[in-house]
Amino acid sequence: MKGMTASLIPPSLEDVEALALAAREALPAPYRAAARAVALRVEDFAPDGILDALGLEDPFELTGLYEGIPLTEKSVMDQPDRPDTIWLFRRPILDEWAGRGTVALDELVAHVLVHELAHHFGWSDADIARIDRWWE
């Protein structure tokens, strides 16, 4: 019974962060170095301010977000007020994971992380969609 109860406990914020950090460390060296320069935040849901800015009413619609200036747009003249950050939202990720039923959680977390890193590298959603058919 004890083992069964433990398996019913959803992964914690720390568990999701550990999966994201492992995915970051598994990136090829040139990408890994750039990814390490981006802050990582894992929260249950996006803060209301982020949802409002994106025009989203349902917090389950957002699994991750890149917040910062893409490398393709950075200038030495920029005076950043905070570090570039990738946000991962645990509850929407877990909801999608449960809904898919065929994807391992570490694969889904890695996918969301890499998608947000692509924005850091300056790729648009359309650029990402052309090479990543994950969401189909």
The answer to whether position 6 is within a domain reads no
Distance (Å, rounded) from C-alpha 36 to C-alpha 68?
Answer: 14
Residue 75: inside a domain, yes or no? no
Q: Which amino acid would we find at residue 63?
A: T
Judge whether 74 lies within some domain. no
CATH number for the domain harbouring residue 104: 3.30.2010.20
Decide if 115 is inside a domain: yes
The answer to whether 35 touches 117, Cβ cutoff 8 Å, is yes
Residue 20 lies in a domain: yes
Predicted confidence at residue 64, as pLDDT, reads: 97
Mind listing the pLDDT tens digit for each residue in 74-86? 666 666 677 899 9
pLDDT tens per residue across span 1-39? 344 445 678 899 999 999 999 999 998 888 888 899 999
**pLDDT score of 122 more than 60:** yes
Q: Count of domains in the chain?
A: 1
- Give domain status of residue 3, yes or no: no
In a domain, 62, yes or no: yes
Q: What mean pLDDT is reported for the chain?
A: 85
Domain interval for residue 88: 11-69+81-131
User: Is the pLDDT confidence value at 73 over 90?
Assistant: no
Does 127 fall in a domain?
A: yes
The CA distances from residue 14 to 18, 43, 44, in Å, are 6, 10, 11
